[in-house]
Every structure is written in C-alpha cells, then in structure tokens.
C-alpha cells in the first residue's frame, strides 16, 4: 500500500434484519457505514526531513519520513462505504481506503 492507504477485506454483513427479513445484496451495499478487516496498511503520512544545516558541498538526500497510521493489520475497521475503491484479487473483493475514511478501529488480541 502507498502513503495513507489501507487495504480492507469487507466483513460479511448481516443479511437478515432483526425481525428476520432477508436483505438483497443491493440493499446491503447501499448502507453508509460498513466494516471489514485491515489486511495491509501503507507507511503513513509523508513528511519532509528536517535539516538544520545547508552545506553546498554536501550531497542533498531527500529522506522522506512518515507519520505512522493508527490502523494495524488485523483491526476491524468501521468505514464510510462510498469512500473506497473496490478491487478484486484472486477472486476476493477488497477495498482500498484512505485512512481518513475510517471512522473507528476495533483491535482485539487473538482475533486472527
């Protein structure tokens, strides 16, 4: 993953209402908020390297540093459904989300 992007595998949503009615897949996909498991995260938000000295004879290396993301592999992410890009890899559906589209993270030890 690149930058502040997060790869999420959507969790199987409830296909049944509390009263016992089965929902069609189109109704489930239209929900504003969905959840899924974080599979991979990018390195974070890039920030430029801070240097105090500017020496004309030194080779200038632009080292990029990153502010790490809060999301970690294995977290359950609650996210805005319309803000992701759906991709298919090896017959599995995934979403690529910006870290800012994630509303809440649920981290449980031993989840996987």
Q: What string of pLDDT tens digits covers the 112 residues of the chain? A: 888 899 999 886 555 556 666 666 665 555 678 889 999 999 988 887 666 666 777 776 667 788 888 888 989 999 987 888 888 888 888 999 998 899 999 888 765 5
Helix ranges, the chain (H): 25-29
Residues 5-14+22-49+57-106, CATH architecture: Roll (2.30)
Contact 17, 23 (CB under 8 A): yes
Burial of residue 60 (number of CB atoms within 10 Å: 0-12, 13-18, 19+): exposed
Confidence at residue 96, expressed as pLDDT on a 0 to 100 scale: 93
Confidence at residue 23, expressed as pLDDT on a 0 to 100 scale: 62
Domain ranges of the chain: 5-14+22-49+57-106
Contact 62, 54 (CB under 8 A): no
Confidence at residue 37, expressed as pLDDT on a 0 to 100 scale: 92
Confidence at residue 33, expressed as pLDDT on a 0 to 100 scale: 81
Predicted model pTM: 0.70
């Amino acid at each position: 993953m690149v930058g502040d992007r997060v790869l999420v595998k959507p969790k199987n949503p409830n296909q049944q209402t509390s009263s016992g009615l089965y929902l069609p897949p189109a109704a489930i996909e239209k929900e504003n908020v969905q959840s899924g498991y974080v599979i991979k995260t990018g390195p974070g938000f890039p920030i430029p390297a801070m240097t105090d000295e500017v020496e004309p004879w030194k080779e200038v290396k632009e080292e990029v540093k990153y502010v790490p993301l809060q999301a970690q592999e294995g977290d359950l992410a609650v996210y805005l459904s319309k803000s992701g890009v759906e991709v298919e890899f090896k017959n599995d559906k995934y979403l690529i989300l910006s870290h800012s589209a994630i509303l809440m993270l649920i981290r449980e030890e031993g989840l996987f």
